[in-house]
Amino acid sequence: MDKMPKWADVVLVPVVSLLLAAIISVIVFLTIGQNPWEALKLMAFGAVGTSDFLGYTLFYATNFIFTGLAVAVAFHASLFNIGGEGQVLLGGLGAAVVVLLVPWPHWTLALIAGGTAAAVFGALWVVIPAYLQARRGSHIVITTIMFNFMASGLLIYALSGPLKPEGQMQVASALFPEAAHLPSLNDIAQIFGSDMFGRSPVNISILIALLACVAVWALIWHTRLGYQIRALGRSESAARYAGISAVNITMITLLISGGLAGMMAINNTMGINSPQLVDNAAGGAGFIGIAVALMGRNHPIGIVIAALLFGALYQGGAELSAATSIPVQIVVVIQALVIMFTGALDEMVRAPIEKLFIRFGRSRTVEE
Amino acid sequence: MDDIAPAIELVGISKAFGPVQANKDISIRVMPGTIHGIIGENGAGKSTLMSILYGFYKADAGEVFINGQKTEIPDSQAAIAAGIGMVFQHFKLVQNFSVLENVVLGAEDGALLRPSLAKARKQLKSLAAEYELNVDPDAIIEDIGVGMQQRVEILKALYRQADILILDEPTGVLTPAEADQLFRILGRLKEEGKTIILITHKLREIMDITDTVSVMRRGEMDSTVKTSETNPADLAERMVGRKVLLRVDKVPAQPKDVVLEVKDLNITDEKGVHRLKSVSFNVRAGEILGIAGVSGNGQSELLEVLGGYEKATGHVLMNGVPLDLTGAHSDGQSRRARGIAHVPEDRQHEGLIMDFSAWENTAFGYHHDAKYQRNGLLMDNAAIMQDAQEKMDRFDVRPPNPMLAAKNFSGGNQQKIVVAREIERDPDLLLVGQPTRGVDIGAIEFIHQQIVALRDAGKAILLVSVELDEIMGLSDRIAVMFDGQIMGERLPQDTNEKELGLLMAGVTDGEAA
């Protein structure tokens, strides 16, 4: 029997998780002698208070939508791809190589070429872990996290060697050519005479992210491949009976997952105000994607909402530490609390709520 | 008699899970030194009642008396302290521990193991002598057979000084001979004054071994009678609430051409064990070939090879054309394309995806069918949904709601979903494994009728079942498997359970005849 109605699973559990994270955050603020209410107001203002700030929130949310989708697609096959971080870096590398090597005449072409390269590089970075999982049973969690370190090393090598412009001190690639710059939402707003989103980097990639959400939704619930992915994820033995190849589906799913993570590069590498590839291009988005997918229940709509929340937290937190004496580490603690409660401690919140529903008998049950 | 307190007395036990009333005002008395059977269909509330007695659930209302004393049983520790031992249907043994370690587990005397193990070794010896419960204390669980493992479970309970033993469907995994042995042991335990509660759905076991029997139906206690004063037909009627046909109603078969021909099929697993040894047989259109045997003697592998998800060497011809047993076409998809449908033995792990809704399960295995595709890219979910609704109506699946997840249906209705999906393909050959395992009597009748109807429509059917009654009732020919081989073939009208039982135990054809 279903233990509780769907709305409780989708809405109540995350809300209670957030409340718990908020309560602990309040205690943290009180401990360091700060007024939690003031801090919250500052954070909220920092996240959505001005159209600049809102733009930054949307920019971060775009990153998290890509990595959240990447984790979610793999989750549907019961695969835990925690290598988003590395796949994002490789995606950045792919985009940078393609955009720097070829003089694209227009940003649309650069976007298509760069996006494709980012997806392909992200997917390629997961080929070896996927093969080892599908054929040899090496656990994907171990291999993908190891590949994160390798990706980081590879990127630093590329940025301090082959991709480093001569005479530059910074560990970064050259700036991408002007023609390849993606229009920011501000650029678009200006066409209509508005200065919405100001200097924030939110750009056309957010539309690509939303398109990716629709594509993932259609893939998972409306295609045969998605059907097979979900079947394999729910029951490997049943998939075997049905003639669904675990090896093929595992490989394909992980390639799609890696590709989605890689595509984040169009936002954080090609889409920023001075587009170039830097060494910390992923900025933890690969890991936040796990929390986003968990909180969003692996559904694109949930992922968009969760990504917006984490985007706001990220941006609001940055403003909070900039505007007050609250150390940036405390902001990281708050973010970690939210990730912990909505992600890792999900079961801790869910179990008592399920019990309540069973006790009060409101759940829809069917005689067994 | 009346002045002896009952070993167990339950008074007015009620338990609800949400709106479902699993137990309704149940009262029962079990006298000491007797074997008391509890029967009922799936979902009748037997397991819930025993779980309350063993402290897994807390009853909403009612009282428990052990040997006349009112007893609270908040958890299984309290149940053990009250002298109750339980042998579960699925054994709770640590596979890579020895028998001795399993017996001691959870009942150690102190931080050091050695004294406990030494004490247990002595105890096991005396228990073995007393009850004919011989088990090698140093054997590793995964190396011994299921019959032996069950003895270890019984020993565990006795080591904890159980006077009352509850056994939940204990013969499900045993050969007839092993079941007889178990019943002898239970008889010994009864002679020594132990009280035994036997939960089962097999009427024959109730008739053979119990002193009294309680029938449960839809959460209520229907009746408790002396076993000597009832008969199987009467019990079945009490269980279901209406008259039940215990025999399958069918006309003689009209076998035609050979549809499936299996020649010299062999499987050797990675450990070098021969799972199938030169298995050969054929099935004709319009007949049911039943494969009898205790589970684990190669029947599952045989079904898996024919179903396309196990590799083997040898030859299998389907309508005269060879099947690929090892290569790229040895998968479920290719088999379905050749007109082979398969109701697998384990519907929960193979036949259905329990988390999928009923409509999604309707397309399972057939998700490549053109009629389920909208175009090259998307699946036609509406078509699958409509198909599911029609199948559920035709096969009387209850509740007829295709949106409900498979896990929310009863065992019988889950099986109807699988049978509907496979039979409605109009296959040339239907593979059926354990079609009525964990299925209630009403649904068994229905599923058997569907299988016979498919046979009468001129299709070939290969039936694998560990239930001899089912094999005898449905098959037109019977082959018996033991240790990966076919021990012999019989016609149901020319054989009997004793002869088949001998073949199932590995007695060769000549000796058994």
Mean pLDDT computed over A39-46: 92
User: Which residues on chain A are in Cβ contact (under 8 Å) with B356?
Assistant: 230-231, 234
A179 found inside a domain: yes
Cβ-based neighbours of B373, under 8 Å, separated by 6 or more: A224, B379, B380
Residue A193 lies in domain:
57-299
Between CA B449 and CA B429 the distance in angstroms is: 17
Check if the beta carbon of residue A21 is closer than 8 Å to that of residue A354: no
Report CB contact under 8 Å: B410, A367: yes
Confidence of residue B465 (pLDDT cuts 50, 70, 90): very high
User: Which residues on chain A are in Cβ contact (under 8 Å) with B346?
Assistant: 237
Lowest mean pLDDT among A265-274, A354-363, B90-99: A354-363
> Nearest C-alpha of chain A: how many angstroms from B151?
30
Mean pLDDT computed over A45-73: 96
Among the partner residues B334, B356, B367, nearest to A234 by beta-carbon distance: B356
> Nearest C-alpha of chain A: how many angstroms from B483?
23
Higher pLDDT residue, B341 or B5?
Answer: B341
Higher pLDDT residue, A260 or B216?
Answer: A260
> Nearest C-alpha of chain A: how many angstroms from B116?
37
Q: Is A244 helix (H, G, I), strand (E, B) or coil?
A: coil
> Nearest C-alpha of chain A: how many angstroms from B290?
21
| Residues of B within an 8 Å Cβ radius of A | 16-20, 42-43, 307-309, 331-336, 342, 344, 346, 349-356, 360, 363-365, 367-368, 373, 377-379, 381, 399, 404-405, 408-410
Confidence of residue A9 (pLDDT cuts 50, 70, 90): confident
> Nearest C-alpha of chain B: how many angstroms from A223?
5
Token pair for A253 = 């799913």
pLDDT in tens, B203-220: 888 888 999 999 998 888
For the cut 90, the answer to whether the pLDDT of residue A158 exceeds it is: yes
Cβ-based neighbours of A274, under 8 Å, separated by 6 or more: A175
At A363 the pLDDT is: 40
A50 found inside a domain: no
For the cut 90, the answer to whether the pLDDT of residue B350 exceeds it is: yes
Among the partner residues B364, B368, B409, nearest to A231 by beta-carbon distance: B364
For the cut 50, the answer to whether the pLDDT of residue A60 exceeds it is: yes
Check if the beta carbon of residue B416 is closer than 8 Å to that of residue B327: no
- DSSP for residue B412: H
Report CB contact under 8 Å: B17, A224: no
Mean pLDDT computed over B133-161: 88
Report CB contact under 8 Å: B309, A235: no
A119 found inside a domain: yes
A214 found inside a domain: yes
User: Which residues on chain B are in Cβ contact (under 8 Å) with A2?
Assistant: 405, 408
Q: Which long-range contacts (CB under 8 A, 24 or more apart) does A208-215 make?
A: A208/A111, A208/A115, A208/A263, A208/A266, A208/A267, A209/A62, A209/A65, A209/A66, A209/A267, A210/A65, A210/A304, A212/A65, A212/A66, A212/A69, A212/A260, A212/A263, A213/A65, A213/A69, A213/A300, A213/A301, A213/A303, A213/A304, A214/A300
For the cut 50, the answer to whether the pLDDT of residue B280 exceeds it is: yes
Check if the beta carbon of residue B359 is closer than 8 Å to that of residue B406: no
- Residue percentage of chain A with pLDDT more than 90: 68
Mean pLDDT computed over B70-89: 90
Between CA A288 and CA A286 the distance in angstroms is: 6
Q: Is B28 helix (H, G, I), strand (E, B) or coil?
A: strand
For residue A174, which amino acid is it?
A
**Chain A residue closest in CA terms to B330:** A243
Give span(s): CATH 3.40.50.300, chain B: 8-240, 258-351+427-512
Cβ-based neighbours of B465, under 8 Å, separated by 6 or more: B290, B291, B292, B433, B434, B435, B436, B471, B474
A85 found inside a domain: yes
pLDDT in tens, B37-59: 998 876 678 888 988 999 888 88
Beta strands B220-226 and B212-217, pairing class: antiparallel
Bridge partner list, B11: B63
Lowest mean pLDDT among B12-26, B156-170, B326-340: B12-26
Report CB contact under 8 Å: B309, A241: yes
pLDDT in tens, A178-227: 889 999 999 999 999 999 898 999 999 999 999 999 999 999 999 999 99
A332 found inside a domain: no
> Nearest C-alpha of chain B: how many angstroms from A3?
10
Taking each helix axis as running N to C, give the angle between helix B441-456 and helix B232-240, from 0 to 180 degrees, rounded to the nearest 10.
100
Report CB contact under 8 Å: A235, B19: no
pLDDT in tens, B409-448: 888 889 999 999 999 999 999 999 999 887 877 788 899 9
Averaged pLDDT of chain A:
91
Report CB contact under 8 Å: B351, A1: no
At A361 the pLDDT is: 60
At A367 the pLDDT is: 36
Lowest mean pLDDT among A331-345, A349-363, B18-32, B369-383: A349-363
Report CB contact under 8 Å: A227, B363: yes
Among the partner residues A235, A362, A367, nearest to B20 by beta-carbon distance: A367
Report CB contact under 8 Å: B332, A363: no
The answer for A 205-244 residues in CB contact with B (under 8 A) is 218, 221-224, 227-228, 230-231, 234-235, 237-238, 240-244
Phi (first) and psi of residue B93, to 5 degrees:
-120, 150
A317 found inside a domain: no
User: Which residues on chain B are in Cβ contact (under 8 Å) with A1?
Assistant: 17-18, 20, 408
Cβ-based neighbours of B143, under 8 Å, separated by 6 or more: none
**Chain B residue closest in CA terms to A217:** B378
Among the partner residues A230, A243, A365, nearest to B18 by beta-carbon distance: A365
Lowest mean pLDDT among A6-15, B24-33, B372-381: A6-15
Contact with chain B for residue A78, Cβ under 8 A: no
Number of A:B CB contacts under 8 A?
Answer: 97
- What CATH number is given for B258-351+427-512 in this structure? 3.40.50.300
> Nearest C-alpha of chain A: how many angstroms from B182?
30
- What is the domain count for chain A? 1
For the cut 90, the answer to whether the pLDDT of residue A69 exceeds it is: yes
The answer for A 238-277 residues in CB contact with B (under 8 A) is 238, 240-245
Place of tokens 């030859």: B315
User: Which residues on chain A are in Cβ contact (under 8 Å) with B46?
Assistant: none
- What CATH number is given for B8-240 in this structure? 3.40.50.300
The answer for A 173-212 residues in CB contact with B (under 8 A) is none
Q: What is the CB neighbour count within 10 angstroms for residue A110?
A: 25
CA-based nearest residue to A62, from A289, A294, A276: A289
pLDDT in tens, A343-368: 778 788 888 888 888 777 644 443 33
At B243 the pLDDT is: 67
At A168 the pLDDT is: 81
Report CB contact under 8 Å: A2, B408: yes
A116 found inside a domain: yes
Higher pLDDT residue, A40 or A304?
Answer: A304
E strand or H helix that includes residue A79: none
Between CA B465 and CA B399 the distance in angstroms is: 27
**Chain B residue closest in CA terms to A240:** B309
Among the partner residues B18, B373, B378, nearest to A361 by beta-carbon distance: B18
**Chain B residue closest in CA terms to A243:** B332
Confidence of residue A327 (pLDDT cuts 50, 70, 90): confident
Averaged pLDDT of chain B:
89
Contact with chain B for residue A148, Cβ under 8 A: no
pLDDT in tens, B217-242: 888 898 899 999 998 888 888 887 77
**Chain A residue closest in CA terms to B439:** A368
For the cut 60, the answer to whether the pLDDT of residue B338 exceeds it is: yes
Confidence of residue B2 (pLDDT cuts 50, 70, 90): low
At B278 the pLDDT is: 95
At A228 the pLDDT is: 97
Between CA B347 and CA B410 the distance in angstroms is: 12
User: Which residues on chain B are in Cβ contact (under 8 Å) with A240?
Assistant: 309, 332, 350
Between CA B513 and CA B507 the distance in angstroms is: 10
**ipTM of this complex prediction, to 2 decimal places:** 0.84
Q: The domain spanning residue A251 has which CATH number?
A: 1.10.3470
Check if the beta carbon of residue B478 is closer than 8 Å to that of residue B498: no
Lowest mean pLDDT among A303-307, B98-102, B509-513: B509-513
At B509 the pLDDT is: 57
